Amino acid sequence: MKKTGQPTINDVARLAGVSKKTVSRVINQSPLLNGETRDKVQAVIADLGYIPNPQARALALRRNFLIALIHDNPNAQMVLRVQQGLLEVLRDTEFELLVHPVDRGAPDMRDEIRRFLERQRPYGVMLLPPISENDALAALCAQIGCRYVRMGSAAFDDPAHMVSSNDREAVRGAIDHLLAAGHRRICMIAGPHGFRSAFERQQGYEAAMEAAGLGVQRTWIAQGDYTFESGMRAAERLLDLSPRPTAIFSSNDEMAAGALHIARQRGLDVPENLSIVGFDDTSIASHLWPPLTTVRWPIATMARAAALKLIGDDDDEPDADAPPAEETMFVSTLIRRASVAKPQE
């Protein structure tokens, strides 16, 4: 207990009259040690307010007690909700959260991530879409010996490494809702190419339309890139169609807001003249006028589950009689608000 004022494991050992190693055993919950000595040591620990030094542990274990969140700058709301979910679990543990954004598109992204992983040696990493869809990154984590969990719109890794929503089903539900209200000319604003979420959501739309016997018209699908502006442009194309669509499903809320904007500019009342459904249920959805009907996926819950997988102690393959694996697939729900109505006669 010299310069820093913090008691060390040596102080505890001395005061408890045992060796360092015994203290270490108490801390790491080693099963083989006398109940009495353990209690004695723990009393000293509590008395001193001793806290193991994370830096020293990291050095000795060659592994830090940090969870890294690696993402590529997607939707701000999403990143934040993920952080909240993660931190909810991490709070009251010895883990802390490291945030490490990367630049997909940068040719050396993978090397950059490798350097990061090798330097910081985090205990586990959480991969957010869209880079979570990159199998090479997952392989990299595994190779380095770092735990990882990927978040995505479908299950594309095994349960231990995955938390996913089922966007395809969710979109089917949303389209069915529109169908049930009487809509037939239902157009879609799709997400950017190369995003699994965009793909899944479009598949859901197409499946629902096919199932309803309406088929899929190429011109009824306009592609955006998940931004407000791209939603405006897509809506313009769609609303130029004749006959005009009576409903638009957008792959995310941001683009749905853009579509709403364009509808307003054209003097179209929503939902009177046009119904709109979004996806994500970001805060913008409820703040818009009219409040947006949208699909909510339980992002914070998924993040919590991911954190549990990351810090859980089921290191290797679960036994046949082991407790059931934690949840992996999470269901989305359609939030019905005021942007959907029956189509006009």
Partner DNA sequence: TTGTACGCGTTATCAT
Partner DNA sequence: ATGATAACGCGTACAA
Q: How far is the CB of 68 from DNA (least distance, A)?
A: 20
| 186/222 Cα distance (integer angstroms) | 12
**DSSP of 257-302:** HHHHHHHHHTT--TTTT-EEEEES--HHHHHSSSPPEEEE--HHHH
**DSSP of 185-216:** -EEEEE--TT-HHHHHHHHHHHHHHHHTT---
Q: Taking the CA atoms of the chain, what radius of gyration do you get in angstroms?
A: 26
Residue 114's binding partner among a second copy, DNA, none (Cβ under 5 to 8 angstroms by kind) is: none
Q: Please give the backbone phi and psi of residue 55, each rounded to the nearest 5 degrees, phi first.
A: -65, -45
* Residue in 29, 36, 62, 319 binding a second copy, rule: CB under 8 A: 62
The token pair at 268 is 């179209």
The token pair at 52 is 């193991």
8 lies in the site for a second copy, by CB under 8 A: no
Residue 32's binding partner among DNA, a second copy, none (Cβ under 5 to 8 angstroms by kind) is: DNA
107 lies in the site for a second copy, by CB under 8 A: no
Residue with smaller CB distance to DNA, 4 or 219: 4
The site for DNA (CB under 7 A) is made up of 2-4, 6, 8-10, 17-22, 24-25, 27-28, 32-34, 36-38, 50-53, 56-57, 59-62
Strand partners, 187: 248
| 86/101 Cα distance (integer angstroms) | 16
Residue 20's binding partner among DNA, a second copy, none (Cβ under 5 to 8 angstroms by kind) is: DNA
Q: Is the separation of the CB atoms in 12 and 23 below 8 Å?
A: yes
Sole window of 14-22, 73-81, 176-184, 271-279 interacting with a second copy (rule: CB under 8 A): 73-81
Interface size with a second copy, residues (CB under 8 A): 45
C-alpha distances out from residue 293 to 67, 106, 130, 263, 287, Å: 35, 36, 24, 16, 11
Residue 282 burial class via C-beta count within 10 angstroms: exposed 0-12, middle 13-18, buried 19 and up: buried
Q: How far is the CB of 257 from a second copy (least distance, A)?
A: 5
Q: How far is the CB of 18 from DNA (least distance, A)?
A: 4
Q: How far is the CB of 53 from DNA (least distance, A)?
A: 3
Q: How far is the CB of 91 from a second copy (least distance, A)?
A: 8
Residue 93's binding partner among a second copy, DNA, none (Cβ under 5 to 8 angstroms by kind) is: none
Binding site for a second copy (CB under 8 A): 3-4, 6, 51, 53-56, 58-59, 62, 64, 66, 73, 76-77, 79-80, 83-84, 87, 96-101, 115-116, 118-121, 228, 254, 257, 260-261, 264, 283-284, 286-289
